[in-house]
Chain A
Amino acid sequence: MTTLLIADGAATPHALTAALALGAEVHVLELPPNAIAEAWAEPIAALAGYDAIVAPATSTGKNLLPRLAALLDVMLISDVVEVLAPDIFKRPTYAGSAIETVQSADARRIVTVRASAFPPTSLAGVTTITLSPADTTLSRLVSEDAQISDRPELGSAKIVVSGGRAFGSKETFDALLGPLAAKLDAAIGASRAAVDAGYAANDLQVGQTGKIVAPDLYIAIGISGAIQHLAGMKSSKLIVAINSDPQAPIFSIADYGLVGDLFALVPELTSKL
């Protein structure tokens, strides 16, 4: 049993843990950031000898592995949170409201894994392989616009502070959350409402359709806690909610709740750290 792990940045050591659960031997293939699916799917599909191909469920993994799976006539098993056997997996559905256990009938398994659900394993000593992309005229990279941040990466940060619509403006969002995140060495996240209102960049959205995070500490500030947001953070080890509405759904999953005005509480919290 040999498993191929397609590496992608900070999520790779976590995905390696899942890959090792699938097969004792793991080979690692490193792709360029945001690799073009059309150029990589065919050469990877042509590789022989792998019973399983695994990638973290990052934007690259989610883009590439379904294309690869279809080329191999295999159904993708996506966003796996637990490996029960090399062909049996747990995965969340309905925005995390249900966890399904699925068994694959395919000869090979193509799997994306939720990095935050697996502890990291060191990549030291793991065999790496190299591969060249195929030439393609189907698609061409025009430009990339990276959001530069001096904060830790959202997907792998130990502490995440997230803001919602209640901040009222981008200026307030940055002015209140920035210093708090700096004190905690935390990544900054946001609800969909905060992203739609322009307070935070799209790739900071935590939720069913954004990033799925599970840090040691998640502090939700001014976030009501819609199902779609909870789907992205409810596996966090400790959840703190700061909200002026004591009836907000976020309090139903928070370990510690603080009811009050974020404009007073966040500066106080920052100053006392």
Chain B
Amino acid sequence: MKIVVAVKRVVDANFRVRVKSDGSGVELDNVKMAMNPFDEIAVEEAIRLREAGIASEIVVASIGPAKAEDTLRQALAMGADRAILVVHDGKADSLGVAKTLAAIARSEAPDLVLLGKQAIDDDTNATGQMLAALLGRGQATFASRIAVADGKATVTREVDGGLQTLELELPAVVTTDLRLNTPRFTALPNIIKARSKPLAKTTPAELGVDLAPRLTTLRVEEPAARPPGIVVGSVDELLAKLRDARVLP
């Protein structure tokens, strides 16, 4: 079966972003970028499905600036077969991205589309669900276990209060949670080999989709700063402070 995995180039998870002083956004110049951690988990899962003899082809797709090619090359180095880059400068929101991925899914006809549950920059958590709706397919979000057999995917989801297991009719859309797997590191020979794997470039116009955001960002600001705290010397002092603050009886 064929799997399409969507990946996004985002600010590295360990980097703390700063808000621009003019309130127009966050400072992204000279900031380390990386593949969205949830997308790495999605790529890893696709590769494991191939290693288990279930998947036959893995196509990775990304929507973003020309630099997003680096992110796709990383996925190719991990083991994906080929890549599609939809070159788009500027902002795009989840609905536009889902429409772009739907256009790709219609031409590639994958049995499974894997995405991360959310991108760690906009923290929206919507693209996978929107894609499933646009394709009229089943969805399993926040997946911590995926098994595929007999034209069905059995997916265990991390939900509030525990776990839920769903059986989906394929084709379907699945979004990955943190605990699905641990992504592999890419060895240097694979990075070199990835440079010659096929990477097709297209544009939203060629796919017939409009990426104009529906949400306008009016302002971006720092969260309210907390007043500086104090270090207390003992449990007794801590309890006295908490009683003074009336959070303890």
Residues of A bordering B, CB below 8 Å: 9, 33-34, 36-38, 41, 58-60, 62-71, 73-79, 88, 92-106, 136-147, 155, 159, 184, 192, 195-196, 201-203, 208-209, 211, 216-217, 227-228, 234, 237-240, 246, 251, 253-259, 265, 268-269, 272-273
Report how far A93 CA is from B241 CA in the complex, Å: 33
Q: B177: CB under 8 A from chain A?
A: yes
Please determine whether A138 and B126 come into contact, CB atoms closer than 8 angstroms: no
Residues of chain A lying within 8 A (CB to CB) of residue B178: 192, 209
* Interface residue B159 (Cβ < 8 Å from any Cβ of A): yes
Residue tally, chain B, CB below 8 Å to A? 80
Shortest beta-carbon distance from A76 to chain B in Å: 5
Residues of A close to B220: CB separation below 8 A: 93, 98-101
Which chain A residues border B123 with CB–CB below 8 Å?
78-79, 92-95, 208
CB-based contact A138/B94 at 8 Å: no
B230 near A: Cβ within 8 Å? yes
Residue of A73, A97, A104, A259 near B223 (CB, 8 A) is A97
Top 8 closest A-B pairs, CB basis? Answer: A138-B138, A66-B129, A66-B126, A75-B214, A70-B130, A70-B133, A139-B138, A59-B159
Give every chain B residue within 8 A of A88 (Cβ-Cβ): 218
B162 contacts A94, C-beta separation under 8 Å: no
B106 at the interface (CB under 8 A from A): no
B residues with CB within 8 A of A: 11, 13-14, 16-17, 19, 26, 93-95, 98, 117-118, 120-134, 137-142, 144, 154, 157-169, 172, 177-179, 213-223, 226-227, 229-232, 234-236, 238-239, 241-242, 245, 247-248
**26 pairs, CB–CB < 8 Å, chain A vs chain B:** A37-B132, A37-B141, A38-B132, A41-B133, A63-B142, A66-B128, A67-B130, A69-B95, A73-B95, A76-B95, A76-B130, A79-B123, A105-B216, A138-B168, A138-B169, A139-B168, A145-B163, A145-B164, A146-B162, A203-B162, A211-B160, A217-B247, A234-B223, A238-B247, A253-B226, A269-B239
Q: Total contacts A to B, CB within 8 angstroms?
A: 248
Q: List chain A residues, Cβ under 8 A from B128.
A: 66
Q: How far is the CB of A235 from chain B (nearest CB, A)?
A: 8
- Using A70-B129, A94-B121, A95-B123 as known contacts, say yes or no to A142 and B154 having CB atoms under 8 A apart: yes
Whether A102 and B120, one on each chain, are in contact in the complex, defined by CB atoms closer than 8 angstroms, is no
Asked if B215 and A104 sit within 8 Å, CB to CB, the answer is yes
Report whether A78 and B162 are in contact in the complex, using a CB–CB cutoff of 8 Å: no
In the complex, what residues of A have CB within 8 A of residue B221's CB?
A: 98-99, 101
Q: Judge whether A258 and B94 touch: CB under 8 Å.
A: no
Known A-B contacts A139-B168, A253-B226, A265-B235; A70 and B241 likewise in contact (beta carbons under 8 Å): no
- Separation of A240 and B242 alpha carbons in the complex (Å): 9
- In the bound complex, what is the Cα–Cα distance between A71 and B127 (angstroms)? 13
> With A100-B217, A103-B215 given, is the CB distance from A62 to B125 under 8 Å?
yes
A22 to chain B, nearest CB (A): 15
- Contact (Cβ within 8 A) A75 B215: yes
Which has the most chain B C-beta neighbours within 10 Å: A64, A93, A137, A240? Answer: A93
Whether the pair A141, B133 counts as a contact (CB closer than 8 A) is no
